[in-house]
Structure formats: structure tokens, C-alpha cells
Structure 1
């Protein structure tokens, strides 16, 4: 079974993402910030990470840079999911190693399309 780590300080966003991802056949773990996400990745590297930018303790962009520098940290596909949608943030995320970038709010279809783009969802699964 494919695994996804949802990293967001909003419980509502984590709940919505979990519901969508579980319908798509993912086993879902959650983290409330980048530090918790790094600890989760140390236990078991997920197939994909849905990542918020603005979080306490360790931000999403800091987490991504730390993840990509770790052994095995280039393996997970990382999809930034944030309300920061200007070109400078998108460019910074992609430069740091993000695979995709979606804006909040998102829905089933948008998330499915991004998972399909990184090779982790099948067409017509929704």
C-alpha cells in the first residue's frame, strides 16, 4: 500500500487530506510541523508528502531542504500544498526539491491530478 505523510498545522486540512488520500488507497500519517515530519520520516520514509509551507517549529521549506539532504530523502514525492501562490514561492519550492505545488483550498480532483503527475495515482480512480 502506498503511504502519504500529511504535514500541516491545521487539523482541518489534515482531516480533509486524509479523507481524500484514504479514498485513493493511501495509508496516511500526519505531522503538525516540519520537526514532527522529520521524525516520522526517520521511522519510515513515505511514498509521498503533502506539505504546508507556513508552520511553527520547522516550516515546510526548511523541512524540504532538510529532507532532501538526508539519506533516502530524495525518494518521496513532495507536493507543496499552501496558500502562498506567488511565483517566487513556487520557484523556491521547486528549487528546494518539491515535485508539485498546489494551492489551498484543494479538492479530490486537484489532489488526484497531482498524485497522477508524480506517478502515484491511477487515471480514473476517483
Structure 2
């Protein structure tokens, strides 16, 4: 899925929450419940710490949530605000285990590359 498609999926998922969020190249989103300063920097700090996978530790754990409207899946990890999107056409095997491992791998790539592709700043405007 291209960046524009990923941004639209995340907007559909997060619009009701009104929270700020940052999207990384491989589909991982960091939701910023307490946004402050440079949002890309704040999200990169979180993902740099909680994105890379360390098998046998909590960083290797994941959970898979199926999205409505054929939007794919969300793969969560050990940080509640770090979530990775997996599109329907990505995994060869649509089982939750295969989707979870695929999403965890994408989170690992994002957590090591830290390439921000979109920032959604939902903070109230200040004058």
C-alpha cells in the first residue's frame, strides 16, 4: 500500500479519537496521547525504543485485530500506542499468526529505520 493509502486508512481508524499521530514508512503508527513539541521527534523516540523486535522479550509479543470494511489488520505490541497496519494483500497466509509475524516485522523495520512519512497534528490551534 502506498503512503497516501496508509494515511487514509489511519485517518479512518483514528479520526474519532481526535488524537495526533505519526506514520512511519512501513505502516507503523505512533499515537500521541500527550503530544508535545516536535511530533515526528516524539514519535521517533517512542518507536526507536519500542519498535525493534527482541525475540524472547515483551518486544517480540503481538496481538492481531481484524479491521472492519476490508481495511486489513492492526498488529499491536508491547507499547499501547505503537500499532502497525497490515493490508489484506500483504500476507500470503491470512492466519492471525502469519499476520502478526508480518506486522511485527514491519514494526521492527520502522523502529530501526525511523522514516516518518506523515504527521497528523490534532492539537488545538493556539494564537
Structure number, greater radius of gyration: 2
More helix by share: 1
Normalised to the residue count of structure 1, the TM-score between the two structures is 0.33
- Higher RCO (CA-CA < 8 Å; seq separation 6+): 2
TM-score (norm 2): 0.33
